[in-house]
A and B are shown apart, each in its own frame.
Chain A
């Protein structure tokens, strides 16, 4: 199944979803076609003016351009999501996922799709990491 991960560029979540036999919906995957396109209209990520307009599907015109541009990438991933794993309070997520407002909006839009969601805390010690890995495994097994 296609699993939306949050943060959508997380190495840990990407690896575990794939390791346990599902397809992670990631930002890297979404950006790959853009950045490898022959025509780079808006370097470096090639999120173009038209993309920012496409973001209007997810967020209104009064919303900052950075959110709409990010939603142009997140949005289609959310539309495909069959389940999702949210890692709350992840202490990282810079770059693509650097805007907390976008991240909150993305989670809301996933919740509205009524797909199975696993919410986790980012582990701070070994015990928490054990719980996280086991919960992810169980969640993904049940989806099969």
Chain B
């Protein structure tokens, strides 16, 4: 049984403690609370160097130090505090850094509200368990042999064939039926690579449809997208060592993942409204009567400040778009404003919950739209790195990691 040490404040009073324990149980783990006696708390706070007013936060610090000093045995750490509490957010972030510097334990942080449910925590808990159980596998930086990665996303399915740390075949198409989309992607990627399916030494699957595909294709690796996408992103960007932030703006949702040596320690996920995803850009392209592939160049020529657009809701966002076109704004300005609106949503909704680390790696299909990268650059104050093939992070990660399971 994997023991996840809980360092938290407010969970029992926000109706989420039960949800945390359920999520842990679902992935075969158990939440534990490091024992600390009173005498150690003041010293721990003093040694740590930040003295919060709230006693529970002091206790969190003391518990973290017990873990760092190896006085308490756990396999992973989950740090959680109330969303919107400034004092707790400071402690949460600094404790995350502290335990990463002083322990080898994987860490995931979360800021919850009373609406947080086990399902939202599940991917995080699953990732913690993956990191514990597959530590050596995740440390792999090179792909070896001949392997395939299948990423069954909510809007597109991607396949990649890799041979000795190089991509030799790739293909993507919209997800329809999970299996047939994956089959088509794999057939086409194999054709580009010029290899036969029988020659493949391993297949890895990830994304929403990973379990279905894992069975169908007899995959050696079936793994959640958090650890797999992180691996793929840092491999593609050539940033396997040190810290980074991965911004993954997909067709239906978006993720912001912070990683250290390619292993994720926190992430946030949006997607309740399509206004902060690639879908809004698709709607914009359709309304402007341009191909989605042309939208980026168009946006790069425009000035977003001339158009007031807010894609907080995609319906109102498109209304703004129609109004601004009617007012005589150019297509370029409107395209730029649409990209900016998506970037702002991601900044305001996702990036507030995590601590942005450098470099910033932008991936997902939307990273191919240059205007979207420019908009992120304006919002963040630095241009994100866009690796080649940014839409293939999941497939590349799966191909790379599955090669680690070869006998």
Do the two chains bind? yes
List A residues at the B interface (Cβ < 8 Å): 41-45, 47-49, 51-53, 62-70, 72-73, 91-101
- Smallest CB separation, B92 vs chain A (Å): 12
Residues B112-151 near A (CB distance < 8 A)? 112-115
Would B114 and A97 count as touching, CB distance under 8 A?
no
A97 to B59, CA, bound (A): 12
Would A66 and B17 count as touching, CB distance under 8 A?
no
Most buried by A among B21, B52, B85: B85
- Smallest CB separation, A37 vs chain B (Å): 14
Would B59 and A69 count as touching, CB distance under 8 A?
no
- Smallest CB separation, B285 vs chain A (Å): 37
Q: Which residues from A are CB-within-8-Å of B83? A: 64-65
Contact of B15 among A42, A92, A100 (CB under 8 A): A42
Would B13 and A100 count as touching, CB distance under 8 A?
no
Give the total number of A-B pairs whose CB atoms are below 8 A apart: 100
Q: If A64-B10, A101-B85 touch, does A51 touch B15 (CB 8 Å cutoff)?
A: yes
Q: If A52-B15, A62-B84 touch, does A69 touch B56 (CB 8 Å cutoff)?
A: no
For A45, give the chain B residue with the smallest CB separation: B12
Would A99 and B84 count as touching, CB distance under 8 A?
no
For B59, give the chain A residue with the smallest CB separation: A94
Q: Which residues from A are CB-within-8-Å of B57? A: 98
Q: If A69-B15, A99-B9 touch, does A63 touch B84 (CB 8 Å cutoff)?
A: yes
- Smallest CB separation, A108 vs chain B (Å): 15
- Smallest CB separation, B351 vs chain A (Å): 20
Q: Which residues from A are CB-within-8-Å of B16? A: 42, 65
For B62, give the chain A residue with the smallest CB separation: A94
Q: Which residues from B are CB-within-8-Å of A62? A: 84
**1/0 per residue B38-81: CB within 8 Å of A?**
10001000000000111111110000000000000000000001
Contact of B55 among A49, A68, A97 (CB under 8 A): A97
Would B9 and A66 count as touching, CB distance under 8 A?
yes
Q: Which residues from A are CB-within-8-Å of B114? A: 49, 52-53, 65, 68-69
Contact of A65 among B52, B56, B112 (CB under 8 A): B112
List 19 contacting pairs A-B, 8 Å CB cutoff, sorted by A: A43-B21, A44-B17, A45-B17, A47-B12, A52-B13, A52-B114, A53-B114, A65-B13, A65-B83, A66-B9, A66-B13, A66-B85, A68-B114, A91-B42, A93-B55, A94-B55, A98-B56, A100-B54, A100-B55
The answer, yes or no, to whether B18 is at the interface (CB within 8 Å) is yes
Q: Which residues from B are CB-within-8-Å of A96? A: 13
